[in-house]
Amino acid sequence: MRYILLFALLYVGGKSFAQTTTTTTTTERPTIKTVVIDAGHGGKDPGCHGAVDNEKHVCLNIALKLGDMIKKKYPEIKVVYTRDKDVFVELDERANIANKAKADLFICIHANSASPAAYGAETYVLGLHRTESQKAIAERENSTIYLEDDKGEKYKDFDMSPDAIIARQLQLAVFLDQSILFADNLQKEFKKLGRYDRGVKQAGFLVLYKTTMPSVLIETGFLTNPSEEKFLADTTGQRKMAASMFAAFETYKNELEGIDGKTTESSSQSTNTTTNPTVSETVESSINKDKLIFRVQIETSETKIASTSPKFKGLSVFEYKQDNLYKYTVGSFESDFKAANNYKNELREQGFQHAFVVAFQNGERINLEKAIKLAEK
């Protein structure tokens, strides 16, 4: 009963699991119409410190640059900032802004703090922490609540236990899979930029718990590391980080909307086509095109990977090509999202941490939310 009441409260001003965050086009493909960008901390809350700068300034500068890039390339997309200046915004309100805007994507930008030797970028989705350091980061970012007017009183009965987080993950399973997809794209772009890839991770961030759309929290780097602080505090470094986030956003957008287009760091030269992604011809003959099939994607590569590769740990893989990338899935579940989702969880336990469910119909990959609705019919 406690969970039911909690979820009911969380959905005020938001949207239910059954409600999609996207609209459909004439080809029934989803579109991203609203993006909410959340610059961490602000005002009386400076966040973590380096020798010369602090988190609230770095996050805001990157957030504004990212928003400008999205608005310039995609003027039809509404960009909403939780803050566009140096002001304090409560954690609860940040999530409320995203939920009320009916955002299709929530991007939360932060900077990290640890020993001077720690370095690299990492991206978080909602989940259970695996290490004490991940737990510490979530606790540090969540501690902002104690700077709120009521000193965090309204959160005192808020349940962030492992059971509650798992229940929330199940409730928003589709959004979580999309969050992981976007997070994986972000880390790939950071790696291209030359940043150390600390990976996609999970932790119990309050702001991610309360949002009802695909949501990520980016730790852009460590201000406690002198060289990373120099990079993140510099306008050029901030622009490069924003450009990497934009490239990841565009890749995610193209994949979600079924557009065949590869993004470069600058993103200004990329052109989108309306070609629908189709399953590789080498395997298409094995599919019954009249069926709705759920699979679990475990690998993406710019080059073809042999089916016998150790990467697949002996699993039988299904290959398809989209956005000029080779993508590899396992399992085949006819009109059964629940079984595919359970298999995804098993694969993550086996080491495929970024596994997520995808769907195919009529020889092409389709939007997962649409597929789930079709399966229910």
Q: Note the pLDDT tens digit of each residue in 218-236.
A: 999 999 999 999 999 999 9
**Predicted pLDDT of residue 306:** 87
The C-alpha atoms of residue 82 and residue 73 are separated, in whole angstroms, by 21
Task: Please give the residue that has the higher pLDDT: either 357 or 30.
Answer: 357
**Predicted pLDDT of residue 170:** 65
Q: Which domains does the chain have, with CATH numbers?
A: 2-257 (3.40.630.40), 281-376 (3.30.70.1070)
Condensed to tens digits (0 to 9), the pLDDT of residues 167-214 reads 665 656 678 888 999 999 999 999 999 999 999 888 777 778 788 889
Q: Is the pLDDT of residue 3 over 60?
A: no
Euclidean distance between the first and final Cα of the chain, in Å? 29
The C-alpha atoms of residue 209 and residue 11 are separated, in whole angstroms, by 11
Q: Which residue has the tokens 């469910």?
A: 357
CA–centroid distance for 29 within its chain: 19
Q: Which amino acid is at 275?
A: T
Nearest to 348 by CA among 330, 369, 375: 330
* 3-class state of residue 363 by DSSP: coil
180 φ/ψ angles, rounded to the nearest 5 degrees: -65, -40
Confidence class for position 303, pLDDT limits 50, 70, 90: confident
Instruction: Summarize the confidence of residues 76-105 as an average pLDDT.
Output: 93
Nearest to 34 by CA among 102, 129, 118: 102
The percent of residues above 90 in pLDDT, for the chain, comes to 36
Which two structure tokens, joined as six digits, stand for 314?
A: 């002996």
Q: Is the pLDDT of residue 72 over 90?
A: yes
The residue count of the chain comes to 377
Number of H helices, E strands in the chain: 12, 13
Task: List, in sequence order, every residue forming a beta bridge with 235; answer none if it has no partner.
Answer: none
CA–centroid distance for 191 within its chain: 16
From the CB of residue 58, how many other CB atoms can be counted at a distance below 10 Å?
30
Condensed to tens digits (0 to 9), the pLDDT of residues 324-373 reads 888 999 998 888 898 899 889 889 988 888 899 999 887 788 888 888 88
Residues 31 and 22 sit within 8 Å (Cβ to Cβ): yes
73: left (phi over 0), alpha (psi -120 to 50) or beta: alpha
Helix then strand then coil, % of the chain, to nearest 5 = 40, 20, 40
CA–centroid distance for 124 within its chain: 8
Q: Is the pTM of this model over 0.75?
A: no
- Of 282-296, 302-316, 343-357, the range with the lowest mean pLDDT is 282-296
Nearest to 10 by CA among 216, 213, 218: 213
CA–centroid distance for 249 within its chain: 9
Q: Is the pLDDT of residue 146 over 70?
A: no
Instruction: Summarize the confidence of residues 132-143 as an average pLDDT.
Output: 56
Per-range mean pLDDT, top range of 21-30, 286-295, 351-360: 351-360
Instruction: Summarize the confidence of residues 307-312 as an average pLDDT.
Output: 85
* 3-class state of residue 361 by DSSP: strand
Task: List, in sequence order, every residue forming a beta bridge with 258; answer none if it has no partner.
Answer: none
The C-alpha atoms of residue 8 and residue 260 are separated, in whole angstroms, by 39
The C-alpha atoms of residue 238 and residue 63 are separated, in whole angstroms, by 9
Which two structure tokens, joined as six digits, stand for 170?
A: 């199940």
The C-alpha atoms of residue 47 and residue 260 are separated, in whole angstroms, by 39
**Predicted pLDDT of residue 164:** 66
Residues 336 and 294 sit within 8 Å (Cβ to Cβ): yes
**Predicted pLDDT of residue 160:** 55
Nearest to 65 by CA among 228, 244, 208, 214: 244
The percent of residues above 70 in pLDDT, for the chain, comes to 71
Nearest to 264 by CA among 274, 254, 256: 254
Query: Helices marked H in 201-335 — which ranges?
Result: 206-210, 226-233, 235-257, 281-284
